[in-house]
């Protein structure tokens, strides 16, 4: 996954407002940088992990909880109660300040007599001496330094390992000469200057009890934030009398010139910010300003890749160089401490069985292998089991329970080989006596007996417990050579690790162990110097082979993990693509369904409208008298459904949408509908008369023109025929009306005596009354004359039409000839060219000669080349068109994906805003509830105090009356003998009145203190209500919010 900035990540997951108002001040306060340039993977890796694991940052915060592994430190020990209680603290300090940590480190280092601390020393050069060809030689470093004050060069220091915690900007010039690649990678890490101003007051001047506040860069301030040290660490207030201590931070990426400002300017900027932000106008009693050059490293976008190159360069060119500090694995104190402890554990553990974190992966954790030797270890020859150690139910049973895996601080280097203990043959009695000193009597009895059957009752089923083959307890007889049987090498194989049943890898392991035992047997004895040197050379070569095997094994594991990761990514991409296709298909189906429904609705409305128009037209024609002789009987619905040849079952497609009746509803089942043999059998079973179509009602379809011109001509002819029929019908109606008028004038009775006299009124009345007119009586002579005249006219018209059509055809042929004149000329030219070629060929054949034959061959080759080139150009043109279409489709898909991502981001932002609003309302409701609860609690406490006081006063008065009644005589005697009335009154006043007044005074003080909290709660409620009524204004930040922001 590509790295991105904090702003891009927050704007993509939440909104730009959240990035500018929440993440910007947080990143400025922690890293002092610009969120547009800082890497989200390096600065806040937890957010990236939540997004990758849960698909959402908010879901990751809700679902991601602390695991049990968080209670374990790096060295395997458990966290103490103090660490568990304070591990989530925002800031950490000590009662006497952070100098306590420096002093403790100095004391811990100086307690070692071999350690030395050089102060005021600047490292100028780190020279790396590469090892020689010998496998036993180690890396050598030369550290050159000088006195920071006097500039005097100090004595160089020779070391095999170097731990560097200085900033990357100072380490780069030191390793420039020896490791230039590492120096170039270190220079990619940039730093920013920081300014810090400490302000102190002898009295409390802060308006609220909070952690402090951070200032977004959009405000244009010169300060990054203010930390209320007196509230954060109140245990440090009593030392110097300061009641209010503030730390003003400035500088960073938004104010880079802070290092060049004088201290007075820094102090004025800090006091001006306190005055404008907190309203503190009082002159401080203590002010101290300081500027830090290259204070905080900037984890830029792409920082994980930069760190990977740094680790690779250090591992390749300077294997003994370990990097720490705040330049690589975190800018905080806790990150530096964690990294230092990791380096210490890596160096203290045995490097043979410790996987270093210099592999290039950007991570803060270090993986240490278990101290239990794996079955693939190369030290099978030194694993001599002690007698009695395999007795699980004997005296060694405690060894088979949980034991702490502690690091071996005094591990032996690989080049040190321990000589095997050779023991001669001993008697069984002596062996039992020797084993009796090391084990209990039970173990001795077991060894003396040889074997012992042990049964254990378990709660597991056989299918759950029997995962590995059963191996009984065994003892190995000691020999002079200390050899172990080969079968003992199979004891480490287990089904849980995938080693059973035995595969190719296990067989290779056994073969490797055999070769190793053969090699150990072939080693020469260390009797003389030549044998010792030969033995050392053979062991060095064997160790080189072992290291190569280990490296190959680790590379194979890494390749397997990478393959699994790639497979998981491919599967995730396939799943994402499948889900996208499913969503697109669902959307397409939904839109298609909506389209079909809309078309069906429109078709139904169209059919209904046409049916209404047809019905209305028929009604109007009937009203006008055109269809009175044959009234419309309407639609015979029963007859249509009874006739399977009607349009109900076989609708005409040209009339509109087909019916909803499917073929399956007419009795034809699935086998007959899908199988060809069943259809043939059905066709053979039908009568022959049903297979012959009836041509009685068949009307052939009129042929339409093939070209647009022919179709236009046909439309014109159809219009002419229609107009001709209309004119002819009008003439016939006029003729019939004239004949009817003549008959009426000759004395025929009127159809209605009340009809009007005028022709206009007669037509109107006829139109309204719709009379039935008797058809005229035909006369042969008149009809013959009219028919003859009509035939003559028709012949004349037909002749005219033929002439017009012939002329039209001639015009069309002439126009076609003119339009295709170029093609005709081309065809003629081709024919002429062909005839010319034939004549030319005949001339050539007649003349003969080599030159003519060569020209013919050249012409043939040219023609063949032209065909090939033309085909190639045609293919390339089509391929170009296809590539353009593919590019357009890809661009369309990309734009659609981008639009979908933008919509998802917007929807996520809206949901986030709704969640924030809901959380704000919940917080307001919780605080209001707390105020009510505190009020009720205070009221109950006041009532209890008043009742207690009244009961105490009444009890005191009763005791006073009782005692005064009993001692009146004594008091009178004392008054007469010793005291006067004034003395008695003074004592009474001192005993009763003054304590009562003092109690009232204390009660008023308590009421005033409670009134302060009530006033603060009321002010908070008013402020929250004002913030809810004005969402655009900047809400006041509560102490809890300040703690969360910090």
**Of the residues 293, 325, 344, which one is the last residue of a structural domain?**
293
Q: Which of 293, 321, 346 is the last residue of a domain?
A: 293
pLDDT (0 to 100) of residue 425: 44
- Please count the other Cβ atoms lying within 10 Å of the Cβ belonging to residue 157: 14
DSSP helix/strand/coil, 300: strand
- How far is it, in rounded angstroms, from Cα 804 to Cα 808? 6
Residues 6+ apart with CB under 8 A from 313: 179, 181, 182, 185
For residue 350, being part of any structural domain is answered with: no
Contact 387, 439 (CB under 8 A): yes
Distances (CA, A) of 774 to 42, 731, 751, 857: 107, 18, 11, 93
**Domain for residue 1007, yes or no?**
no
For residues 250 and 269, what is the distance between their CA atoms, to the nearest angstrom?
Answer: 9
DSSP readout, 803-859? Answer: HHHHHHHHHHHHHHHHHTHHHHHHHHHHHHHHHHHHHHHHHHHHH--HHHHHHHHHH
Q: How far apart are CA 123 and CA 171, in angstroms?
A: 8
Integer Cα distance of 853 and 113 in angstroms: 108
Are 174 and 251 a contacting pair, CB within 8 Å? no
Q: Is 271 part of a structural domain of the chain?
A: yes
- Would you state the pLDDT for residue 413? 47
Confirm whether 408 is domain-assigned: no
Residue with token string 């890494």: 558
The reported pTM is 0.39
- The CA distance from 495 to 502, in Å, is 9
448 closest CA partner among 382, 512, 391, 529: 391
Predicted local distance difference test score (pLDDT) of residue 568: 92
Token pair for 125: 């050069």
Q: Is the CB of residue 1 less than 8 Å from the CB of residue 302? A: no
In a domain, 250, yes or no: yes
Residue with token string 């054949």: 845
Domain that holds residue 393: 385-403+426-475
Cα gap 113→635, rounded to integer Å? 119
* DSSP three-state, residue 207: coil
Residues belonging to the chain: 1046
The secondary structure element, H or E, covering residue 322 is: strand 321-323
> With the CA atoms of 809, 810, 816 and 820 taken in that order, what torsion angle do they form, in degrees rounded to the nearest 10?
150
Under DSSP, is residue 887 helix (H, G, I), strand (E, B) or coil? helix
Mean pLDDT, consecutive 10-residue segments, the chain of 1046 residues?
82 84 86 89 86 78 57 64 68 78 85 83 85 52 86 86 89 89 90 90 82 86 88 73 84 86 89 88 88 89 90 86 88 85 74 40 36 35 41 52 47 45 43 44 43 56 55 73 73 74 81 86 83 88 91 91 93 92 92 92 89 86 61 71 80 61 48 67 73 54 66 82 86 77 48 42 47 60 70 83 86 85 81 82 71 78 85 89 90 92 91 91 90 89 89 86 71 65 73 79 86 84 79 48 46
Q: CA 577 to CA 574: how far, in whole Å?
A: 5
Final residue before a domain boundary, out of 652, 683, 714: 683
CATH number at residue 256: 3.90.660.20
Say how far apart CA 297 and CA 62 lie, in whole Å. 32
User: What long-range pairs does 364-369 form, CB within 8 A, spacing at least 24?
Assistant: 364/329, 364/330, 364/335, 364/338, 364/339, 366/74, 366/342
Beta strands 162-164; 321-323: pairing state = parallel
Q: What are phi and psi of 648, to 5 degrees?
A: -65, -40
Give the whole-angstrom CA distance, residue 959 versus residue 404: 70
Let me know if residue 49 belongs to a domain: no
418: DSSP letter: P
| 758 assigned to some structural domain | no
- Phi, psi for residue 124 in degrees, rounded to 5: -100, -30
Residue 446 lies in a domain: yes
Residue 598: predicted pLDDT? 93
Q: Which residue's entry shows tokens 């505190």?
A: 934
The structure tokens 């003349």 sit at 847
Query: Residue 345, SS3?
Result: helix
Kindly report the backbone phi and psi dihedral angles of residue 313, in degrees, each rounded to the nearest multiple of 5, phi listed first: -65, -40
Question: Taking the CA atoms of the chain, what radius of gyration do you get in angstroms?
Answer: 54
Phi, psi dihedral angles at 93 (to 5 degrees): -155, 180
Cα four-point dihedral sign 529, 532, 536, 542: positive
Q: State the total domains in the chain.
A: 3
């Amino acid at each position: 996954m590509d790295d991105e900035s904090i702003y891009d990540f927050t704007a993509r997951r939440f909104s730009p407002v959240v990035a500018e108002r929440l993440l910007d001040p947080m990143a400025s306060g922690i890293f002092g940088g610009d969120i547009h340039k800082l890497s989200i993977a390096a600065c806040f890796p937890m957010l990236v992990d939540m997004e990758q694991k849960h698909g959402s940052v908010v879901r990751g915060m809700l679902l991601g909880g602390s695991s049990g592994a968080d209670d374990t430190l790096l060295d395997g020990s458990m966290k103490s109660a103090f660490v568990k209680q304070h591990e989530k603290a925002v800031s950490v300090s000590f009662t006497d300040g952070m100098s306590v940590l420096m002093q403790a480190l100095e004391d811990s280092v100086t307690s070692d007599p071999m350690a030395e601390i050089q102060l005021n020393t600047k490292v100028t050069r780190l020279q790396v001496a590469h090892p020689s060809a010998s496998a036993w030689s180690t890396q050598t470093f030369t550290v050159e330094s000088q006195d920071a004050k006097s500039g005097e060069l100090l004595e160089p220091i020779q070391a095999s390992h170097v731990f560097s915690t200085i900033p990357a900007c100072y380490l780069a010039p030191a390793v420039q000469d020896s490791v230039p690649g590492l120096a170039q990678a270190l220079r990619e890490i940039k730093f920013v200057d920081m300014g810090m101003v400490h302000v102190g007051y002898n009295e409390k001047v802060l308006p609220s009890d909070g952690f402090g506040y951070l200032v977004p860069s959009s405000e244009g301030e010169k300060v990054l934030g203010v930390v209320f040290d007196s509230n954060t660490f109140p245990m440090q207030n009593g030392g110097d009398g300061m009641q209010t201590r503030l730390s003003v931070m400035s500088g960073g990426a938004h104010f880079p010139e802070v290092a060049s400002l004088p201290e007075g300017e820094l102090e004025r900027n800090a006091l001006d910010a306190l005055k404008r932000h907190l309203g503190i106008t009082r002159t401080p009693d203590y002010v101290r300003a300081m500027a830090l050059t290259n204070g905080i490293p900037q984890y830029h976008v792409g920082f994980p890749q930069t760190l990977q190159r740094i680790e690779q360069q250090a591992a390749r060119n300077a294997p003994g160089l370990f990097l720490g500090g705040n330049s690589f694995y975190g800018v905080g104190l806790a990150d530096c401490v964690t990294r230092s402890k990791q380096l210490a554990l890596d160096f203290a553990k045995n490097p043979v069985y410790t996987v270093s974190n210099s592999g290039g992966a950007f991570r803060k954790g270090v993986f240490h292998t278990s101290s239990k030797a794996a079955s693939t270890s190369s030290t099978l020859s030194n694993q001599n089991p002690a007698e009695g150690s395999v007795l699980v139910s004997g005296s060694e049973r405690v060894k088979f329970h949980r034991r702490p895996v502690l690091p071996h601080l005094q591990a032996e280097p690989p080049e040190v080989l321990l000589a095997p203990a050779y023991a001669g043959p001993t008697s069984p009695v002596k062996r039992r006596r020797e084993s009796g000193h090391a084990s209990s009597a039970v173990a001795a009895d077991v060894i003396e007996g040889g074997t012992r059957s042990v049964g254990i009752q378990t709660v597991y089923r056989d299918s759950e417990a029997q995962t590995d083959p059963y191996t009984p307890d065994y003892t190995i007889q000691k020999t002079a050579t200390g050899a172990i049987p080969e079968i003992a090498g199979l004891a480490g194989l287990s089904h849980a690790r995938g080693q059973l049943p035995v595969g190719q890898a296990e067989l290779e392991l056994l073969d490797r162990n055999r070769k190793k035992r053969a090699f150990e047997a072939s080693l020469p004895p260390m009797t003389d110097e030549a044998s010792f040197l030969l033995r050392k050379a053979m062991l060095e070569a064997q160790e080189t082979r072992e290291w190569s095997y280990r490296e190959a094994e680790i590379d194979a594991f890494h390749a397997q993990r990478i393959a699994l990761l790639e497979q998981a990514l491919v599967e995730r991409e396939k799943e994402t693509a499948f889900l996208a296709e499913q969503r697109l298909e669902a959307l397409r189906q939904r839109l298609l369904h909506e389209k079909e429904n809309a078309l069906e609705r429109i078709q139904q409305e169209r059919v209904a409208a046409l049916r209404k128009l047809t019905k209305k037209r028929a009604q109007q024609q009937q009203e006008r008298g055109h269809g009175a002789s044959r009234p419309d009987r309407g639609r015979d619905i029963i007859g249509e459904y009874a006739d399977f040849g009607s349009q109900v079952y076989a609708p005409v497609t040209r009339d509109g949408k087909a019916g909803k009746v499917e073929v399956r509803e007419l009795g034809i089942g699935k086998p007959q509908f899908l199988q060809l043999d069943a259809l043939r059998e059905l066709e053979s079973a039908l009568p022959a008369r049903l297979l012959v179509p009836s041509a009685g009602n068949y009307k052939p379809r009129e042929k339409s023109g093939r070209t647009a011109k022919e179709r236009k001509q046909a439309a014109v002819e159809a219009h002419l025929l229609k107009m001709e029929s209309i004119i002819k019908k009008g003439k016939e109606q006029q003729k019939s009306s004239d004949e009817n008028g003549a008959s009426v004038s000759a004395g025929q009775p009127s159809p209605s005596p009340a009809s009007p006299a005028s022709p206009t009124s007669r037509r109107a009345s006829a139109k309204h009354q719709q009379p039935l007119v008797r058809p005229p009586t035909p006369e042969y002579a008149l009809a013959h004359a009219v028919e003859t005249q009509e035939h003559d006219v028709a012949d004349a018209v037909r002749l005219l039409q033929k002439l017009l059509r012939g002329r039209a055809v001639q015009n069309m042929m002439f126009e076609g000839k003119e339009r295709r004149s170029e093609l005709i000329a081309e065809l003629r030219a081709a024919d002429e060219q062909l005839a010319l070629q034939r004549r030319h060929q005949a001339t050539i054949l007649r003349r003969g000669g080599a030159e003519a034959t060569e020209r013919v061959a050249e012409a043939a080759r040219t023609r063949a080349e032209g065909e090939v080139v033309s085909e190639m150009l045609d293919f390339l043109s089509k391929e170009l068109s296809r590539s353009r279409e593919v590019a357009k489709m890809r661009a369309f898909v990309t734009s659609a994906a981008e639009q979908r991502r933008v919509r998802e981001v917007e929807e996520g932002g809206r949901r986030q805003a709704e969640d924030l609003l809901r959380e704000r309302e919940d917080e307001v409701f919780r605080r209001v509830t707390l105020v009510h609860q505190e009020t009720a609690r205070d009221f109950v406490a006041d009532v209890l105090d008043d009742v207690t006081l009244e009961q105490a006063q009444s009890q005191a008065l009763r005791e006073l009356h009782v005692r005064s009644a009993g001692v009146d005589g004594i008091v009178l005697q004392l008054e007469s003998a010793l005291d006067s009335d004034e003395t008695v009154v003074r004592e009474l006043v001192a005993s009763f009145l003054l304590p009562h007044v003092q109690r009232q005074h204390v009660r008023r003080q308590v009421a005033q203190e409670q009134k302060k909290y009530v006033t603060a709660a009321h002010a908070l409620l008013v402020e929250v209500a004002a913030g809810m009524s004005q969402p655009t204004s900047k809400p006041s930040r509560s102490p809890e919010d300040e703690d969360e922001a910090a």
